[in-house]
Structure 1
Amino acid sequence: MKDYTPRDWLPHEKPSLPGSPSTPEHPSLKRLAFALVGLLVALTGGLGNSLVIANLPYLQGSLGATTAEMAWLPAAYVMTNVSMNLLLVKFRQQFGLRAFTEVFLVLYALVTFAHLFVNDLNSAIAVRAAHGMVGAALTSLGLYYMIQAFPSKWRLKALVLGLGASQLALPLARLFSEDLLQIAEWRGLYLFELGMALLSLGCVFLLKLPPGDRFKTFEALDFLTFTLLASGVALLCAVLSLGRIDWWLEATWIGYASVGSIVLIMAGLAIEHNRDNPMLMTRWLGSGTMIRLGLSVILIRMVLSEQSTGAVGFMQTLNMSSQQLHSLYVVMLLGSVAGLVISALTINPKHLYLPVIISLALMATGSVMDSYSNNLTRPGNLYISQFLLAFGGTFFLGPTMIYGMGNVLSNPRNLISFSVLFGICQNLGGLIGAALLGTFQIVREKFHSSHIVEHLTLLDPRVEARVQSGGSAVGSLIADPSLRNLQGIRSLAAAATREANVLAYNDVFMLIAVIAILTMIWISIRALWLRCTTKAVAPTPAIPSVQPSGATST
């Protein structure tokens, strides 16, 4: 197997960005191998958190923790994962891709192995935090392998597939992870992931990425900035993850954490803003282009929370088990795969707004369909709506990333800033969506419950009949009439709570639809404005193949 070195590079083989691999020509079989390894690595990284998210209720018993305590497991992963691109990009640039690949995959395997020795919640949170730090490297690694699998003329398609592959991890985890729990509970999940990590490690040792440029990038002040920003973002993630569980205005720590996150983030940005050679280009991040890009990613990720917080939560409220939701998870997976494939086939750098608008339209349609649910709704009634949401969730991702990359190619110094912006907006968008929708559902459930209960009186013959019916259902078990009557009242109260939850989830689905429609209108107006003003000024100049045409604003 030929080892490509810088002196072998042709003009089209040179790395397009600092820290990225060179792109030499490969034979067809080797391209297929790169694609398979890229998919394997991306899924391994995505499953790191997806296996826990999909099985939180089942892990609660094995760890002996409350619901609020279990919420710290996915929160700890995100808290350490979200800011790691600040260091990972510079690590690749200074120490090279091969060192990056091997070091972080070995660390990933070791941390996964450590999960097998978890015996309580505290140790579980510790290894989840470590997992988040090393897991951040696998998404970009999978992307680089996928890029090697395609010729230069299909580089955008490779970017879409590499970026979206990790998005398939959550529906996959929901499909098969329950079987893993039957092997050894918590350890069953991580025996599987350890196998994935070791398989990925063996594959990347056998099939190495071509080398890229290396140069000194780290400065002493980088670590101070990273400490401040990572700590501040971690506190913010903790607040967003636990706020609706501990409740926003009741838990004292939420207030302290919120203040701390603001102070730490502002201190880190202030240092970067005044540095001669900053990691984060704060002036560029504060431009209208990047603010609009970040806001659009956050809003779309909020809409995507409909599936995890909305549809799945709604089905669980109706006491649907994972086995009963199996077919729905298959539909979600098929929708995600379809969106990813069609996005790769149709990606056009001259029309990057259109896929985002289509995605929002599909997600709004799916949310409106779900908003007419009732207590007889079953997984089969959600197939079409959830397929549309899953399709939109992967269809928008590649075009959005490529749009931002256009600004990076024009000035490679913006690479770290863009990587951090995109990663933080992706993660915070999901957290904000879950926090907003979860809080809204709780508030609306209390509202509907109060309205339902105030009309329930034993003076109403229909209510009295319902109480008697609930009591007669346990007549063979309870002889005392007063206890049977009490049981009937409890049965009616449970039915009232269920109906209030159904109405609350319908409100959540409609809120998601409204957010999607408003975001779609905003992006459509922006696209129309740019088309009109761009034509009036001058034609778009030629740009590199991986840079979207006219990518000057979003």
Structure 2
Amino acid sequence: MSDASAHTPAQAPATPVPHPPLHWKVAVLYMAAACMLALSQGLGQGFITANIPQIAGDLGITTTQASWLMAAYMIPRASLPLMLIKIRTQFGLRRFAEVGIIVYVVVAFISVWIADFRSAIVVQFLSGAAAAPLSTLAFLYMLEPLAPEWKMRLGLPLAMAMLLSGPSVARIVSPALIGDGGLTWIHLTVLGMAMVSLALVFALPLRPMPRMKVIQTLDFVTFLLIGFGFAGLTIGFIQGPIQYWMDVSWIGLLLAASVASLAIAVAIELNRTAPLLDIRWLVSPAILHLTATLFLFRLILSEQSTGAPRMFQVLGVAPSQLTVLFAVIVGATLLGALAVVGWIRPTRVPVYHILALILIAIGALMDGNSTIDTRPEQLIVSQALIGFAGMLFLPPAMMAGLISALSKGPQYLLSFVIVFIATQSLGGVIGSGVFTTFINHQQAAHYQVLIEQLTAASAQTTRAIAQQMALFSGQITDGATLKAQAVSQIAQTASNQAYVMAYNDAYRLIAAIAIFALVALLLHLLRDFLAARMTPAQPTTPDVTP
């Protein structure tokens, strides 16, 4: 970043108003409010991901159509945070918090009355927009009562643990809330948590910050360009694996238009004196390295969010059978947060990343031995390792980014948090899309091989057909129908087997990526060590202080 843009009016340092230390009981309330805000936004997103088939049935649409609901929710979640820094600065932190939570409650109330697909799309878009400030508020409420030395060490890991646990908690509670198949109780749960969050935000105000008029007309132009770019990438990577990338031309055109829109936005921002985003700082070597690290984390953690749940869905495992697995994942995530709290230091970030990559590689390799008989309890250890590793990886990486931001001035703290959240939202969508595309490709290849092996002349196929016919003989009397049912069942078993083999390939690919990243990190540390050893020691100045 150039010196000329270091202290522009839009990014002028904001000094907090002096505030007396909070009593420990009040501090606990602020941290509880942070947990409620984090879980509220996490559950809102997790309920959609975990219940796409139920939502499709409730609205009378296909699962392909229902996937547009996830896209509608994620579009504003990825782009809207880019404007929140200036909105907060111009209108004040308290008004930002209060208006944000009021909008969230209103949208949660409207969602109870969703009756058709079109209204669901609109409400999900509004829900994503209303949830965008909640992640920021969760961070602010978690950091608010803590002394400066504990903000990074305690507040950051706890806030991240709550934000990461939300989607898993949604999978734990969804089966009990759905009951007979309706989504009413899910909508009411979101509404209830939103109302509790509303009460907490109004009862526990954040420390006021000085206001400044920083929003400029050109900010909206840049925001619209970035918003379109992020929206196009979100839609492309959600619909691409579902619509099959090459089968529909509009996906490629949309992705090209998205990249062009982002390029125009970057060109505009580079020529502004008070940019919405400081591109020069974001493309500095340290921040680019951090961005690559965070994107790698999102990619390899897709194994947990996209891998195991969808594999078990293919195998016909009911959502209620997954509750124990995801409860263990939540527990491992919280234990990882406690481990980070106990030993986190800026100098130990590489050590945490080494341990995290080792655990992720081990967990992914363990998952790579799955079969069509694998059930959730057999993946508890591996998924717990990955959940624990996620917390060893993310908070230290984010701490490094925050330290880099704060070295430029305190005004960069919230800016980095907002950019981080937007990047992670988009990175999660891209990681899931890449992961799903790889699985679809591998499934088709494995299925072709299995079908070629199951030829009509094969003695093994003949025996399998006879076994299936014997199983259905008590239900079907017509010989031709009985044989057709047996062949159909064998084909379905082959399809499931091909999917499991594809997921095993994906798990092993994740392990290979983690191992490659581990080797690269070790080589990087070795290079730094050798460079330090070869650098001549600087002469020390004698201490003449009396």
TM-score by length of 1: 0.90
CA distance in 1, matches of 2:405, 2:200: 30
Match of 1:3 in 2: none
Instruction: Flag the 1:538–1:267 CA change in 2: closer, same or farther, 3 A.
Output: farther
Which residue of 432, 448, 451 corresponds with 1:434?
432
| 1:432, distance to aligned residue in structure 2 (A) | 1.9
* Residues matched between the structures, number: 525
CA contact (8 A) 2:73 2:125 kept: yes
CA distance in 1, matches of 2:183, 2:77: 21
- What is the SS of the residue equivalent to 1:323? helix
Which residue of 441, 448, 451 corresponds with 1:443?
441
- What is the SS of the residue equivalent to 1:214? coil
Which residue of 64, 82, 85 corresponds with 2:81?
85
CA contact (8 A) 1:43 1:169 kept: yes
Cα deviations across residues 404-437 of structure 1 (Å, max 9, x unaligned)? Answer: 1122112236557634542233123211221111
- What is the SS of the residue equivalent to 2:472? coil
Instruction: Flag the 1:77–1:460 CA change in 2: closer, same or farther, 3 A.
Output: same
Is 1:290 paired with 2:278? no
- What is the SS of the residue equivalent to 2:179? helix
Q: Name whichever of 208-217 and 128-137 sits farther off.
A: 208-217
Is 1:529 paired with 2:527? yes
Instruction: Flag the 1:304–1:27 CA change in 2: closer, same or farther, 3 A.
Output: same
CA contact (8 A) 2:36 2:197 kept: yes
Q: Which amino acid aligns with 1:505?
A: Y
CA distance in 2, matches of 1:236, 1:326: 32
Match of 2:395 in 1: 398
CA distance in 2, matches of 1:241, 1:398: 27
Is 1:258 paired with 2:249? no
Match of 1:369 in 2: 366
Is 1:166 paired with 2:166? no
Cα deviations across residues 504-523 of structure 1 (Å, max 9, x unaligned)? Answer: 11101101111111122223
Cα deviations across residues 257-307 of structure 1 (Å, max 9, x unaligned)? Answer: 112101211111111011111121112222222222111111111111111
Unmatched 5+ stretches in structure 2: 1-11, 539-546
CA contact (8 A) 2:84 2:418 kept: no
CA contact (8 A) 1:20 1:97 kept: no
Match of 2:382 in 1: 385
1:209-248 alignment runs, 5 A limit: 209-248=206-245
CA contact (8 A) 2:168 2:327 kept: yes
Q: Which amino acid aligns with 2:175?
A: E
Is 1:496 paired with 2:494? yes
Instruction: Flag the 1:319–1:184 CA change in 2: closer, same or farther, 3 A.
Output: closer
| 1:23, distance to aligned residue in structure 2 (A) | 6.2
Match of 2:53 in 1: 57
Which residue of 200, 204, 208 corresponds with 1:207?
204
CA distance in 2, matches of 1:18, 1:248: 46
- What is the SS of the residue equivalent to 1:279? coil
| 1:537, distance to aligned residue in structure 2 (A) | 5.8
| 1:24, distance to aligned residue in structure 2 (A) | 4.1
Instruction: Flag the 1:514–1:539 CA change in 2: closer, same or farther, 3 A.
Output: farther
Q: Which amino acid aligns with 1:331?
A: V
Match of 2:542 in 1: none
Instruction: Flag the 1:133–1:527 CA change in 2: closer, same or farther, 3 A.
Output: farther
Match of 2:326 in 1: 329
CA distance in 2, matches of 1:455, 1:200: 58
CA contact (8 A) 1:79 1:234 kept: yes
Match of 2:543 in 1: none
Cα deviations across residues 80-122 of structure 1 (Å, max 9, x unaligned)? Answer: 1112222111111122111111010001101111111211111
Q: Which amino acid aligns with 2:448?
A: S
- What is the SS of the residue equivalent to 2:108? helix
CA distance in 2, matches of 1:480, 1:392: 56
Is 1:29 paired with 2:25? yes
Q: Which amino acid aligns with 2:206?
A: L
Q: Which amino acid aligns with 2:513?
A: I
Cα deviations across residues 366-400 of structure 1 (Å, max 9, x unaligned)? Answer: 00000011122111110100001111122222111
CA distance in 1, matches of 2:280, 2:356: 30
CA contact (8 A) 1:241 1:435 kept: yes
| 1:461, distance to aligned residue in structure 2 (A) | 2.3
Match of 1:39 in 2: 35
Match of 1:349 in 2: 346
Match of 1:299 in 2: 296
| 1:227, distance to aligned residue in structure 2 (A) | 0.9
Q: Name whichever of 51-60 and 450-459 sits farther off.
A: 450-459
Instruction: Flag the 1:36–1:225 CA change in 2: closer, same or farther, 3 A.
Output: same
Cα deviations across residues 119-157 of structure 1 (Å, max 9, x unaligned)? Answer: 111111111111111211111111111112322221212
Is 1:358 paired with 2:355? yes
Which residue of 421, 424, 429 corresponds with 2:422?
424
| 1:20, distance to aligned residue in structure 2 (A) | 7.0
Match of 2:67 in 1: 71
CA distance in 2, matches of 1:118, 1:89: 32
CA contact (8 A) 1:303 1:515 kept: yes
Match of 1:487 in 2: 485
Q: Which amino acid aligns with 2:489?
A: S
CA distance in 2, matches of 1:369, 1:319: 21
Instruction: Flag the 1:81–1:535 CA change in 2: closer, same or farther, 3 A.
Output: farther
CA distance in 2, matches of 1:359, 1:469: 47
CA distance in 2, matches of 1:150, 1:179: 36
Cα deviations across residues 323-347 of structure 1 (Å, max 9, x unaligned)? Answer: 1112111111111111122112221
CA distance in 2, matches of 1:29, 1:490: 63
| 1:365, distance to aligned residue in structure 2 (A) | 0.7
- What is the SS of the residue equivalent to 1:215? coil
CA contact (8 A) 1:76 1:128 kept: yes
Unmatched 5+ stretches in structure 1: 1-15, 541-554
Instruction: Flag the 1:420–1:231 CA change in 2: closer, same or farther, 3 A.
Output: farther
Match of 1:464 in 2: 462
CA contact (8 A) 1:105 1:197 kept: yes
Is 1:130 paired with 2:163? no
Q: Name whichever of 233-242 and 180-189 sits farther off.
A: 180-189
| 1:252, distance to aligned residue in structure 2 (A) | 2.1
Which residue of 114, 118, 134 corresponds with 1:118?
114
Match of 1:189 in 2: 186
Q: Which amino acid aligns with 2:102?
A: V
Q: Name whichever of 94-103 and 410-419 sits farther off.
A: 410-419
Is 1:103 paired with 2:62? no
CA contact (8 A) 1:373 1:502 kept: yes
CA distance in 1, matches of 2:437, 2:449: 19
TM-score by length of 2: 0.92
